[in-house]
Amino acid sequence: MPLNRRHFHALAGAAAAAASAPWLGAQAQAQAPSQPSLDALHEAAKKEGELTWYIVYLPSEDAELMSRTFTARYPGVKVNVVRTTAQVAFQRLNQDLKAKTANCDVFSSTDIAHYLDLKQRKLLMKYLPAASAGMDKRLQNLDPDGYYHVASVAMVGLIYNTAKVKPADAPKSWNDLVDPKWRGLASVGHPGFSGFVGVWAIEMRKLYGDGWFKKLAANKPQVGRSIIDTVTTVTSGERSIGAGPINLAAMVADKGNPIAIVAPKEGPVLMLSPSAIMANAPHPNASKLFMEWLLGSEDVDKLSVERFGVPKRAGARPRPGVLGLDDSKTALRPDPKESVDGVPEVIDLWRDAFGV
């Protein structure tokens, strides 16, 4: 069955433990006196009544589900969902800022470069959710200054259609995407539209050099905007292999679709999607409550694991067949500075190679 974006929730990161949960460590306990309790935040948030969430790493249907689940947990606080791709969301946010219009409260993108830019321009609110202390230590302190935090974890690996490709013939390396045997048979996303593809492209460049993108273009892959599109085209059989989100592919395979996953020998690419509160957020208390929930709610944790997401809580395991943090010690991941410098460069290399 072909997949569309409405079915996608696998990129949702699992949340850490709730702020009041017993597994929180000394970091959260030390912060607690200087932060309002969740009950106090809820009361303050109810007076504001709502917040607006610019969200990239979920499709619209699942973002709306998250919105409803949050409001059920915290009655009286509505989440207005604005879902787009990474670069479109950032462009919209900058248009808001240029017009001096405070529309966005919480900004959740897939491109860490957005946060470094916003932080440098002093456009983010400094807020360290107490819930962040319950996350795996590898995910803590994404920003040492506390302006943005990991809200979602996903991994990109190789995927293939089991009706078209035998396991023994499946690609094992990222470099197989430029092997002539897969000419016209692969599916990839576009780094100019997808933050995840931008990060993936940075790692491909580090592995194989600038010329690799021309080799990829010469192999005639199908190029979609979103990384989600690769799972759609491989599942349908329109393409045989692709570079796609492992978690989404696992969810689709669990439903009986002909798709399987390969962790490339070089390592999958680890995707960290941050969230932050805007400095000009019109609903600051509702935003803080939402960030606590987004990082630390058992609701989010449950939704993520059910949808084949990667848990963020220390020691937590995903569903069988899904790679978790403890399975990805060789995962590839650019540091924030590489993302700032690298994404625009790989977009230029990509467009030079593909012409679009």
Distance separating alpha carbons of residues 75 and 200, to the nearest angstrom: 39
How far is CA 315 from each of CA 135, 138, 331, 333, rounded to the nearest angstrom? 9, 11, 17, 20
- φ, ψ of residue 160 to 5 degrees: the values are -150, 155
Distance separating alpha carbons of residues 296 and 18, to the nearest angstrom: 4
Pairing, β 269-277 against β 106-108: antiparallel
Model pLDDT, residue 329: 62
pLDDT, one tens digit per residue, over 343-353 is 899 999 999 99
Of 7-11, 70-74, 171-175, 251-255, the least confident:
7-11
Q: What fold, for 5-151+272-327?
A: D-Maltodextrin-Binding Protein; domain 2 (3.40.190)
Distance separating alpha carbons of residues 149 and 108, to the nearest angstrom: 10
- φ, ψ of residue 153 to 5 degrees: the values are -125, 135
pLDDT, one tens digit per residue, over 89-148 is 999 999 999 999 999 999 999 888 899 999 999 999 999 999 888 888 878 889 999 999
The residue behind tokens 């393409």 is: 239
- Residue 87 CB: number of other CB atoms within 10 A? 23
Secondary structure (3-state) at 126: coil
Of 318, 315, 286, the C-alpha closest to 302 is 318
Domains of the chain, by residue range, sit at: 5-151+272-327, 154-270+330-354
Q: What fold, for 154-270+330-354?
A: D-Maltodextrin-Binding Protein; domain 2 (3.40.190)
Secondary structure (3-state) at 75: coil
pLDDT confidence band for 2 (50 / 70 / 90): very low
- Same CATH topology for 5-151+272-327 and 154-270+330-354: the answer is yes
